[in-house]
Amino acid sequence: MTRFPDRKIILEDGQEYYGYAFGAMEEKILEIVFNTSMAGYQEILSDPSYTDQAVVMTYPLIGNYGMAEDDYETQTPTIGALIVHEYNDQPSNFRSKETLGQVMKRYGISGISGVDTRKLARSIRDFGSRKALLTGIDTSLGEGLKRLEEYRQPKDAVSRVSCRQIRRLGREGDGLHVAAIDCGMKRGIVRSLLRRGCRVTILPWDTPAETIRDLSPDGLFISNGPGDPTDVPETIQTVRSMIGTCPIFGICLGHQIIALAYGAQTYKLKFGHRGGNHPVRDLETGKIEITSQNHSYAVDESSLKKTPLTVTHRNLLDGTVEGLCCSGDRVFSVQYHPESCPGPQDSAYLFDRFIEMMKES
C-alpha cells in the first residue's frame, strides 16, 4: 500500500522537506542542526544540550537497536525533534526495552522519517543553522514562513534542564568531593567522576558562590548544557567568584562559561560541531584525539589576549579553540565531551587530570 507524506519541515529561507511522522505529532518551531554520529542516537536523544533543537541524523538508519534503560543521559529528554532518513520500529537488541518511537511519543518529541537527510545536512552546512517549523502536510509555505518570522528563540533553556534541588551522590566521607554545577549535565559525566571514587554534589545552575564555598569542595565542575552561554550571567558570576578557591574543570558550555568568567567572549558557529569524529590536537603533547562534540558556540580566540587563559587544544577541522587553562588558578576546560556518551574514549584522561589537580591542592 502506498504511503503518502504526512509531515513536513519548513525552513526560514523557504526550503521544504517532506516525510512521515513517528514519535509525537506536535507542531514545533526549533533550531535545525545535524549530527554525524554513526551510533548513539539514544544518548543524543537524551542529551539536554539539544533542548529546543531539531537534530538531523546523517547516518541513514535510526532506531534499529531500540532503547536501553541504562543508556539515557537524562531522565526526561528535552530534545525538540529527530529527523531521519529511515526509521526502524522493530529493533533487534537484547538490551532494548522500548522502541525509539515509543519513547519519543511519551516525552513529546516529534519525529520525521523519509527525509533526504544528505540534502538537508548539506543545506545546514552551506547556509548555517536556521529556524525550522515541523508541521502537518497541509500547512502552506506562506503561513509557515510567517510563524517562523514571528518566533523568538527562548533564552531560558539552562534553567529548564538544570536540577531544582541540591543532590548528593557517593558515600559521605569517601574520596574527593566535587561540586558540580548542573547546566544540563549528562549522566555520563557524573558516572565518570563516581568511577574515580569522587563524591559529587550536584547544584542548580544559579547556585551562588557562597553556597558552594560553604560545601568546602575539593574541586568545582561546570557541566555542558544548551543555548547561548551569555544567557546564564548568574553562573558566569559564580564561576568568577570561585576562581582561585579550588580546582575548576569545565566541559562544553562549562568551557564557554569559564572563558566568559575571565572576560573573554564567545560567538555562534555557522552550524556548530555535532558528532563523534572531530579531531582535536593537544597543543602540549602534540597528540591528536578523536572527540565527541555537541555545541553551537565557541570561544573567540582574539578575546583571550586580555586574560590569563592559554589555549591547550585546537580543532583540526576549523581551527577553533577546544581547550583552555590557567595553571596559576588551577582552572582548565575543554569544548568537547571526554565522557564519550556516545563517542570515542580518547579524552577520558581529562577526568584523571582533574583528580590529580584536586589531590595536589
Q: Where are the domains positioned within the chain?
A: 7-150, 158-360
**Which pLDDT score, from 0 to 100, does residue 94 have?**
96
| 333 φψ region: left (φ > 0), alpha (ψ -120 to 50), beta (else) | beta
Per the structure block, which three cell numbers stand in for 131? 529556524
Give yes or no: 341 in active site: no
> Is 252 tagged catalytic?
yes
pLDDT of residue 1: 60
Phi/psi of residue 91, each to 5°? -70, 155
Does the domain at residues 7-150 carry the CATH identifier 3.20.130.10?
Answer: no
3-state DSSP assignment of residue 30: strand
Cα separation of 334 and 325, whole Å?
Answer: 9
Active-site residue 339, yes or no?
yes
Using CA atoms of 263, 283, 217, 337 in order, give the dihedral in degrees to the nearest 10: 90
Q: What is the mean pLDDT of each run of 10 residues along the chain (361 residues)?
A: 88 97 96 97 98 98 97 96 97 96 98 98 97 97 97 96 96 90 97 96 98 98 98 98 98 98 98 96 96 97 97 98 98 96 92 96 84
Distances (CA, A) of 304 to 54, 281, 335: 32, 19, 15
DSSP type of residue 156: -
What does the alpha-carbon distance between residue 98 and residue 105 come to, in Å, rounded to a whole number? 11
CA distance 75 to 354: 26
Contact 115, 21 (CB under 8 A): no
183, 289, 337, 341: which one is catalytic?
337
pLDDT score, position 172: 80
Q: Which CATH code for domain 158-360? A: 3.40.50.880
Residue pair 251/337 in contact by the 8 Å Cβ criterion = yes
pTM: 0.96
pLDDT at 299: 98
Distance, in Å, from the CA atom of 314 to the CA atom of 162, rounded to the nearest integer, reads 29
Q: Which of 31, 43, 289, 339 is catalytic?
A: 339
Catalytic residue among 198, 246, 252, 326: 252
Rounded distance between C-alpha atoms, residue 166 and residue 212, angstroms: 11
